[in-house]
Chain A
Amino acid sequence: EVQLVESGGGLVQPGRSLRLSCTASGFTFGDYAMSWVRQAPGKGLEWVGFVRSKAYGGTTEYAASVRGRFTISRDDSESIAYLQMNSLKTEDTAVYYCTRVNGIAVAGWVVDYWGQGTLVTVSS
């Protein structure tokens, strides 16, 4: 059974940093891309960023709203994806979801599984 468990959320002051972790199980982590999606309270879903598998260079993509402040990385030996968030702003307050991304021929990079999410609150 595929499982994604996020951790590391909490209350943080504006301008500070926080690192989220996504621990995966039930599949060969290194074979898949991973992404992060967030949802501000009462709002819709916002794509945050994406890290390819090592087979595709392990490179990353980001939303403009977080580019330069957030960094996604992965540790395939531990089956963990990370979201390092620096220079946090009040508007970064959201539930952050980790997702598995499956590269499917002629169908692209497809999100198939979601974690339960972790809440990040940025407030003084």
Chain B
Amino acid sequence: DIQMTQSPSSLSASVGDRVTITCRASQGIRNYLAWFQQKPGKAPKSLIYAASSLQSGVPSKFSGSGSGTDFTLTIDSLQPEDFATYYCQQYNTFPYTFGQGTKLEIK
């Protein structure tokens, strides 16, 4: 199975900051990488697919990049509603696999 490793596992930031989360695949996955946001007690929400394409309705403050094994999610101008846990997922090869998550907390 393809292992997905996110870093950092947790991150403290302030409102207005710009943050970047990294996701690394154990083997090449082309650009078949998605990002999801999950708030406590809620279902995940789809943010990005194909490494850099925004899902419908997702604000442009979210951006993704990467290809092959290394990917990033960047969030500009953090607002209180952005503090959540973020997951990457590879969907290049079955079984699809998720990263362990990055918890973004308010500093």
A residues apposed to B, CB below 8 Å: 35, 37, 44-47, 50, 61-64, 97, 104, 106-117
Q: A107-B50, A110-B50, A115-B43 are in contact. Are A44 and B95 (CB under 8 A)?
A: no
CB within 8 Å: A-B pair count: 67
Is B53 in the interface zone, CB < 8 Å from A?
A: yes
Bound: A43/B87 CA distance, A: 12
**Majority SS at the chain B contact face:** loop
Say yes or no for B69: interface residue by CB 8 A criterion.
Answer: no
B1 an interface residue at 8 Å Cβ cutoff?
yes
In this complex, how many residues of chain B approach chain A with their Cβ under 8 Å: the count is 27
> A44-B98, A47-B89 are known contacts; what are 7 more A-B pairs with Cβ within 8 Å?
A45-B87, A64-B1, A97-B43, A106-B50, A111-B34, A112-B56, A113-B46
Nearest neighbor of B45 in chain A, beta-carbon distance: A114
Residues of B with Cβ closer than 8 Å to A? 1, 31-32, 34, 36, 38, 43-46, 49-50, 53, 55-56, 87, 89, 91-92, 94-101
Q: Cβ of A44 and Cβ of B43 under 8 Å apart? A: no
CA of A115 to CA of B43 in the docked complex: distance in angstroms?
7
